[in-house]
Amino acid sequence: MIVSKPSRLRTALICALNTSGALALLTLTASANAAEFSGCFTPLPASQNDAQLRNALPVVQNLCIRDVREGRAAVLLPAADATSERWGFLDNQGQLVIKPVFDDVGDYHYGVAAAKQQGKWGFIDTNGNWLIQPGFDAVQPFTESGLAVVTVAGKSQIIDRKGVQVGKALDDLVDEAILSNGLPARLQLSFNSVLLSPDGVRHVATDKMEVTEPFGSQGLFIAFDASKGFGIVDENLTWRVAPQYIAMTLDPRNPAVALAKNSDGITLIRADGVQDEHKYLSVSEETGAFWLAKTADGVKLLDNSAVVIATFSDSDAAALRVSGDYVLNPTAKDTLTVFVPGRKQPLTLPIASEPWGQTTGEFLLTTRGEQKKVNAIISPSGGMIGGAQNVGWLAQISSAEVISHRLWLRNDRGDVVNVVDATGKALLNQKTISALENSRIEPLNAGDENVTAQSPLALIRPEAGTSKTGAGFLKPDGSLQIDNKWQDIESADSSADIGQFIVRTADGTGVIDAQGKVIIPLTEDNISPFVQGYALDYLDGKLTALDHAGKHYNLPDVFDLESVGNGWFRYHETAAEGALWGVCDAINQKMVVQPTYLSVGDYASNQVAVQTPNALWGILDGQGKTVVDAKYANVRRINSALWLLTQPATDSQPESGVIAEIIGNDTKTRIAPTAGLAVNQFSDGRILATSAAGQSWLLDAKGNIELHEQQTRISALGDWVKLSRQPQEGYLSAQGDWQIQPAIDIQGSRFVQGRALRSTAAGSELIDDKGARLASMPEGKWDIPTGSTWSVSYDPQNSEAATRYVDNTGKLVLTVAGFASRMVDGHAVLTRADGSKTWIDGQGKPADAISYADLGLPQDGLAFAKADNAYGFVDMQGNYVIAPVYSAVSPFDGGVAVVSTPAMSMMLDKTGKPLARVDKECGISVLYGAGSARQWPQKMPDNCKP
């Protein structure tokens, strides 16, 4: 009779299990690896390897039968109806004492195990009876304190063994609460971040969401879920693009689309939060309006909506040229193809056209021929001058400048050749150009917010040394407004465009508006440009101050005067070097301060900053009285209501330690002196202040503190505010109350024999159960591993790897070269330089005769050991008691251990005798006891033949 591989394996296993136990399985390893079974073990994630090595635990885990804890081992078996698999428990004799009725289970901790049924978690006793009925969304194991953390409707709470909430309810913002063993019990809390919209509405990030940065102009954000990856959320923190990407970035030069990366390529996400359906191998920003995206079929040119504009071969893509926001393709037949932002179809220029060497901002200029004469102008809207058509004045262009979104073109003499607007229209005709001969044309560089349909483009002034007469404006449509009586014209205020101009005539000087209407009669002797609302005016040989309404104010007869605002002028009495400044009030006709100061700032809100001869700054009020003493290294206005005062730095003080404070115009403190205080302003006037220590304040424009939550960092996300409460930890009593109050910026350990570690930036110390310091620890990063009363540090010593041990009084008791595990009952596992492992004793002496690829600590007289890529168990002399034939093992617990091959999991006693095993038969998991008597299922499927 021919026997199939699975049948031969089962027959051999039965023989092995009926003989001497595990030793007989040595010959079965190869067959087991080849058998058609689902795996009963798995390697642990690499992220857990370091912790496993420090605790001398294997880096693999059993699956079909889990490790034994407190005399119980979870086992995965068919449900009674055989329609699915469920979890039950074996005792340490290998007997199924709790039938497989649970969707999922945890291990036993202090006589209680978590169990899940119908989607909810509860807790069972050692007999499988419900101790706490299932009703929780998530649970953590019970701890030594008799408390456990459970989650209901997304909120964490602490319960006792009766299922009753204890202590004060946890904050609604708690994202995760982790309770550790020990008395008192360490509780670590992390919190959900909060986004505060500009209108003050709070949005709480959930599902471990971390909002990282704003995206686009439609209220979207890039966000990160720790377990799922990056996605896009809207203003309500609802996922617009589900978290699924390993990275998501914005190009700082062009943030119009987000680049979402996964192992299968890059997806572009538009500013409206919609994902492009294509995947790209790589994406690069070419201009502020175009991207190049590589695919298997070629290279795509994309616009900022991720729309494909053109496709190129790799060689043609490499030949593309960029000028400003334009992409030029010189490989097109007989033409130069130009891709213009916002246009689907490209423009074409004559062959051999190429970008001009000068920077031309939003416009594209091209040249052609040996003389590099301009042959075309392309505007931001795609309008074109020249190209295939010959436009004579293009060849005269020698320089170009963009002012207020218009292109000013000049010849080699500096004369204006033409002005081109954003639509590509040339504003000057031949008649206008002729009329401008012998005139100076001075463009007005008004900000966008000041440009109107009537705003002049330029001032027209007669060229000096010519007979040219008349001054005026070049209007937005290219026409001229010239008045022959005007001899000269200039902006009335160089620091702010207020649409007024100083005009000089034969009869005098005055001020007109942008339409030529007289604001101040043209009868003054001379008017200087206005500064801080006032000009200096000479009338009948007398110097006066002049406001924009034309009203005069007398000024003192001094050497030098400068307007500082609101009618105040700082002045020098003489021209002497080092002369001090005084202040006069022209409106109220009085001296405010005699010459006293090295510097006087701008006057506003009835206050002015002044610098004394000792170089320190203070503040004066409107009567010249000191309201803030001159003791600061710097005084500057944050806005019209607030001042930032910076104290002088000391020689030993780092830059981040310089102390500053914020006060109001009432001189009352808004933020007390703080090291490293920095200020940023939102577009709506709100102010974000942060300190070097991580404190944060959100103030309104008047200086009222809107937010200053303890242990919370405030940061800006565009005009939104992000509140990030810092993680904290403390210790709970058995009643669930804080026995040691929670704090931030600390790392603690569980309590062992009445002591715990507490580490801060200043160092580590041992504390008692009231939080009082017992002893300081040596310098380094320390931990108290599970089951060890000695603390361990892995900080290098003299640049060499080392393991240090400190006892529970803080005394350094042992230093070992290399990496050693926790010390338990006088044993630790030392990893040699070649990666092999041995034991060391409490004096650090290694057991030279013992060397294994992996090694555990002795428990119940046996330790797991790995040789030839398989695990077994050795005695205290390092001799194998249970042969190395297993892929995964657990340490012994209560005289039993769990081992696995790819085919099965087994429970063994200390002699290696199998007490129970689980393997696959007829496609289902089957539990056998000692002697191969089947325990579960009670009945095999009808189609299963022996």
pLDDT tens-place string over residues 239-253:
999 999 999 999 988
What single letter denotes the amino acid at residue 546?
L
Contact call for residues 84 and 118 (beta carbons, < 8 A):
no
Q: What is residue 452's predicted lDDT score, i.e. its pLDDT?
A: 58
Q: What is residue 466's predicted lDDT score, i.e. its pLDDT?
A: 85
Q: Print the domain residue range for 605.
A: 555-632
pLDDT over 50 at 12, yes or no:
no
Among 516, 534, 554, the domain boundary falls at 554
Q: What is residue 629's predicted lDDT score, i.e. its pLDDT?
A: 97
Q: What is residue 453's predicted lDDT score, i.e. its pLDDT?
A: 61
Q: What is the tens place of the pLDDT at every residue in 848-857?
A: 889 999 999 9
Contact call for residues 930 and 91 (beta carbons, < 8 A):
no
Q: What is residue 22's predicted lDDT score, i.e. its pLDDT?
A: 39
Q: What is the tens place of the pLDDT at every residue in 254-266?
A: 999 999 999 999 9
Helix (H, G, I), strand (E, B) or coil at 942: coil
- Count other Cβ atoms within 10 Å, centred on residue 677: 22
Among 233, 260, 286, the domain boundary falls at 286
Q: What is residue 332's predicted lDDT score, i.e. its pLDDT?
A: 77
Q: What is residue 944's predicted lDDT score, i.e. its pLDDT?
A: 82
pLDDT over 90 at 694, yes or no:
no
Is the residue at 919 inside a domain? yes
> Using CA atoms, how far apart are residues 81 and 616, in angstroms rounded to an integer?
87
Q: What is residue 30's predicted lDDT score, i.e. its pLDDT?
A: 31
DSSP 395: G
Q: Are residues 711 and 736 in the same domain?
A: no
- Which range, of 202-211, 285-294, 746-755, 813-822, averages the lowest pLDDT? 202-211
Q: Are residues 148 and 61 in the same domain?
A: yes
Q: What is the tens place of the pLDDT at every residue in 42-83?
A: 999 988 999 999 999 999 999 999 999 999 999 999 998 888
Put the strands of the sheet holding 148-152 in their side by side order.
138-139, 148-152, 155-159
Q: Are residues 624 and 742 in the same domain?
A: no
500-to-66, 222, 490, 515 alpha-carbon distances in Å = 85, 46, 9, 9
> Using CA atoms, how far apart are residues 413 and 357, in angstroms rounded to an integer?
19
Please provide the distance, in angstroms rounded to a whole number, between the alpha carbons at the two ends of the chain. 15
Which of the two residues, 878 and 945, has the higher pLDDT score?
878
Is the residue at 394 inside a domain? no
What single letter denotes the amino acid at residue 133?
Q
- Count other Cβ atoms within 10 Å, centred on residue 553: 18
612-to-72, 78, 414, 478, 687 alpha-carbon distances in Å = 81, 88, 47, 53, 29
Q: Are residues 628 and 691 in the same domain?
A: no
Of how many residues is the chain composed?
Answer: 946
Contact call for residues 891 and 857 (beta carbons, < 8 A):
yes
Q: Maximum Cα–Cα distance for the chain, whole Å?
A: 132
pLDDT over 80 at 206, yes or no:
no
Question: What residue has token string 């300190």?
Answer: 691
Q: Are residues 109 and 228 in the same domain?
A: no
Is the residue at 343 inside a domain? no
- Four-CA torsion 22, 23, 25, 29, nearest 10 degrees: 110
258 Cβ partners below 8 Å, 6+ apart?
215, 222, 232, 248, 249, 250, 268, 269
- Count other Cβ atoms within 10 Å, centred on residue 390: 9
Contact call for residues 692 and 653 (beta carbons, < 8 A):
no
Domain of residue 595, CATH code:
2.40.10.480
> Using CA atoms, how far apart are residues 617 and 597, in angstroms rounded to an integer?
10
The structural domain count of the chain equals 5
Express as a percent the part of the chain with pLDDT over 70: 95
pLDDT over 70 at 917, yes or no:
yes
4-to-8, 11, 13 alpha-carbon distances in Å = 6, 11, 14
Is the residue at 307 inside a domain? no
Q: What is the tens place of the pLDDT at every residue in 824-844?
A: 999 999 999 999 999 999 999
> Using CA atoms, how far apart are residues 30 and 19, in angstroms rounded to an integer?
20
Q: What is residue 333's predicted lDDT score, i.e. its pLDDT?
A: 79
Express as a percent the part of the chain with pLDDT over 90: 78
Among 524, 554, 584, the domain boundary falls at 554
Q: Are residues 778 and 865 in the same domain?
A: yes
> Using CA atoms, how far apart are residues 729 and 723, in angstroms rounded to an integer?
19
Helix (H, G, I), strand (E, B) or coil at 864: strand
333 Cβ partners below 8 Å, 6+ apart?
none
Instruction: Provide the pLDDT confidence category of residue 946 given band limits of 50, 70 and 90.
Output: low
pLDDT over 90 at 914, yes or no:
yes
Q: What is the tens place of the pLDDT at every residue in 780-790?
A: 999 999 889 89
Is the residue at 475 inside a domain? yes
527-to-482, 497, 551, 882 alpha-carbon distances in Å = 21, 17, 12, 105
Contact call for residues 727 and 224 (beta carbons, < 8 A):
no
Q: What is residue 6's predicted lDDT score, i.e. its pLDDT?
A: 34
Q: What is the tens place of the pLDDT at every residue in 639-661?
A: 999 999 999 988 777 777 899 99
Q: Kindly report the CA angle at 71 between 65 and 74, in degrees rounded to 5?
A: 25
Q: What is the tens place of the pLDDT at every residue in 513-565?
A: 999 999 999 999 899 999 999 999 987 888 999 999 999 999 999 999 999 99
Q: What is the mean pLDDT of residues 407-436?
A: 94
Q: What is residue 388's predicted lDDT score, i.e. its pLDDT?
A: 84
Q: What does the mean pLDDT of the chain come to?
A: 90
Q: Are residues 576 and 710 in the same domain?
A: no
> Using CA atoms, how far apart are residues 725 and 692, in angstroms rounded to an integer?
16
Q: Are residues 900 and 849 in the same domain?
A: yes
> Using CA atoms, how far apart are residues 649 and 685, in angstroms rounded to an integer?
29
Q: Are residues 738 and 703 in the same domain?
A: no
> Using CA atoms, how far apart are residues 368 and 629, in angstroms rounded to an integer?
67
Q: What is residue 26's predicted lDDT score, i.e. its pLDDT?
A: 33
- Which range, of 202-216, 480-494, 905-919, averages the lowest pLDDT? 202-216
Q: What is the mean pLDDT of residues 113-127?
A: 97
Is the residue at 386 inside a domain? no
Q: Are residues 585 and 602 in the same domain?
A: yes
Instruction: Provide the pLDDT confidence category of residue 23 given band limits of 50, 70 and 90.
Output: very low
Q: Are residues 28 and 176 in the same domain?
A: yes
Q: What is residue 7's predicted lDDT score, i.e. its pLDDT?
A: 36
DSSP 64: S
Q: What is residue 650's predicted lDDT score, i.e. its pLDDT?
A: 85
Is the residue at 67 inside a domain? yes
Q: What is residue 255's predicted lDDT score, i.e. its pLDDT?
A: 92
Q: What is the mean pLDDT of residues 686-697?
A: 90
Q: Are residues 486 and 564 in the same domain?
A: no
Question: What residue has token string 């009926």?
Answer: 18
- Four-CA torsion 586, 589, 590, 596, nearest 10 degrees: 20
What single letter denotes the amino acid at residue 415?
D
Q: What is the mean pLDDT of residues 97-110?
A: 97
Question: What residue has token string 């002591």?
Answer: 755
Is the residue at 164 inside a domain? yes
Helix (H, G, I), strand (E, B) or coil at 612: coil
Q: What is residue 574's predicted lDDT score, i.e. its pLDDT?
A: 92
> Using CA atoms, how far apart are residues 829 and 815, in angstroms rounded to an integer?
14
How many CA atoms lie within 13 Å of 466's alpha carbon, on the beta-carbon side? Answer: 13
Q: What is the tens place of the pLDDT at every residue in 564-621?
A: 999 999 999 999 998 999 999 999 999 999 999 999 999 999 999 999 999 999 999 9
339-to-297, 354, 495 alpha-carbon distances in Å = 21, 13, 39
Q: pTM for this one?
A: 0.75
